[in-house]
Amino acid sequence: MLLRMSVSPLERITPAVLGVARAGDAAGERRAARARRNFWPQLAVLTGFWIYVALSNLMYANTMGESLKSLNVTDFFAPWDARLVQHLILYPLFILCAWTSLRIGWRPLWRTLPIQLSCALGFAVLAAPALVLGEVAVGEWHGTMAITHTAAFAKSYENWAAFFAGPAVPTWIASATSFLVTYGFGLALITSFGFYQRLRDSQLRSSALERALAAAHLAALRMQLSPHTLFNLLHTIRGQIAWDPPAAQSMVVQLGDLLRRLLTAGEQEFSRLGDELQFVQLYLQLQQRRFADRLSVTVPARDAAPLAWVPSLILQPLVENAVVHGLGGHEGPVSVRVEVSVVGETLVLRVLNNLAPAWHGLHGSGIGLANVRERLAVQFGERAGFTAGPGDDHQWVAEIRMPLLRDGPEAAP
């Protein structure tokens, strides 16, 4: 089944009973659901505008009629109740013409413009006959037909010459002109309202897509950590198998625990800081099993950590970077230290390691640090910062500054 590539304005606002959606047409069903949501607001706008027009016309006619009475001019304007009946008659015609105009649209102009003008003129020229019907109805209610406008129209229809020479044609033209302008304002109002609704829906969809894109982006970033971490840990265990099988078996058990935590953390956008520190501690313990004579670590205890939430796996790439680059290129001892502090409403996380004597300046490059920087930018924007570089005492310092989330992940956006 072929789906139309364009959607007419009526298909955005009219209910499904008008045939917007076809059976089995998924796009049509979505348009129908959107139309049902927009039907009553559109109708309310048109109804409110028409009530305003009716009240304005009644007040104007009543005010002018009272002014003309002081000049002994009576029966110049139709009675107020006749005008009320006129607007009641014109209301469904106004709704029908406005919706027809929206359904037709304005493209292509050469084809739609004549139809649009026909709708406008058709509505406008029916205003005067509607007033006559109102006068007739009011006359029947009051038990009299002695109404000036009805009598004038009846007299005008005695012959065509009298019709064109009498007041009927100028009155009709004046009425049509007035209601043509009214119709134009109403059509502009409902078109603007429809544009506002589409703009609002577009903004909502755009926001939803941005949130979905950010979530997918973060998920992709978290998935990047798993293969990278697993590769380094397997390489560590491989070094133990040849000369210390019991230690390798113990490390496999620890690796299994680490992988379970890694998978759990990878499925979550945020985790508690204590859990993050426990994960880091487990990873560093595995590294210490291989480099016991060279690697020393310092990680705050889980119970001593502030009660806060952090992006899941945000510390792991920094610790891994410290271990890999700290041990690489030399045979000396390496110290890795994790620090946590709170400054006002800002949480500060630091990972420090001593640099190799022959440090060549490539410590800060790689996927791990770029991953951390990108995740902080996606989740916190300008409210978070990340720096990495050589510090005092020939140490490498990676520092994260982020908002202190005491109330859980919902405080992050």
Which domains are delineated in the chain? 9-206 (no CATH), 244-411 (3.30.565.10)
Using one digit for the tens of pLDDT, what is the confidence trace for 89-119? Answer: 999 999 999 888 888 888 888 888 898 899 8
- Looking at every residue in the chain, the average pLDDT score rounds to 78
Q: What digits encode the pLDDT tens for the residues 263-288?
A: 776 667 888 999 899 888 988 888 88
Residue 22 CA to residue 17 CA, distance in Å, equals: 10
As a whole number, mean pLDDT of residues 338-350 equals: 94
Least confident of 52-61, 99-108, 207-216, 381-390: 207-216
- Would you place residue 349 in the very low, low, confident or very high pLDDT band (cuts 50, 70, 90)? very high
Interior CA angle at 344 toward 339 and 347, to 5°? 35
Quick one: pLDDT band at residue 412, thresholds 50, 70, 90? Answer: low
Give exposure, 121-156, as e/b (b: 16+ Cβ within 10 Å): eebbebbbebbbbbbbbbbeeeeeeebebbebbeeb
Task: Using CB atoms within 10 Å of the CB of residue 78, give its burial: 0 to 12 exposed, 13 to 18 middle, 19+ buried.
Answer: buried
For 91, the enclosing helix (H) or strand (E) is: helix 80-104
User: Measuring CA to CA, which residue among 304, 256, 298 is closest to residue 280?
Assistant: 298
Which residue would you say has higher pLDDT here, 406 or 68? 406
pTM for this model (two decimals): 0.51
